[in-house]
Amino acid sequence: MKAVSEDIFISGDLVKVILNLHNSHLPDNRIGIILDVLPAIDKNWSDEASVAFSNWRVLKFHVCHLRKLPLN
């Protein structure tokens, strides 16, 4: 599956939500783990990701609003 953004996302990736996106349920650090990547309907690329955060919230974001973080 081809990603819409520069990054290819899979379950378990550590990601950060970009700063210009507001959601009142985001923790201050904006860092979460991808649980699931959902494909765009009738297309062959990733579109939306479910992300779990440290405040126990699971939120969905279009992948262009996410940046993959290194695990080291």
Domain limits, the chain: 2-68
For the residues 46-62, what does the mean pLDDT come to? 92
7 against 60, higher pLDDT: 60
CATH architecture type of domain 2-68: Roll (2.30)
Dist. CA 67–CA 7, nearest whole Å: 7
Residue 37 near residue 46 (C-beta atoms within 8 A): yes
pLDDT at 1: 44
Q: What is the pLDDT of residue 7?
A: 64
The model carries a pTM of 0.81
Express each pLDDT in 1-37 by its tens digit. Answer: 444 555 678 899 999 999 888 889 999 999 999 999 8
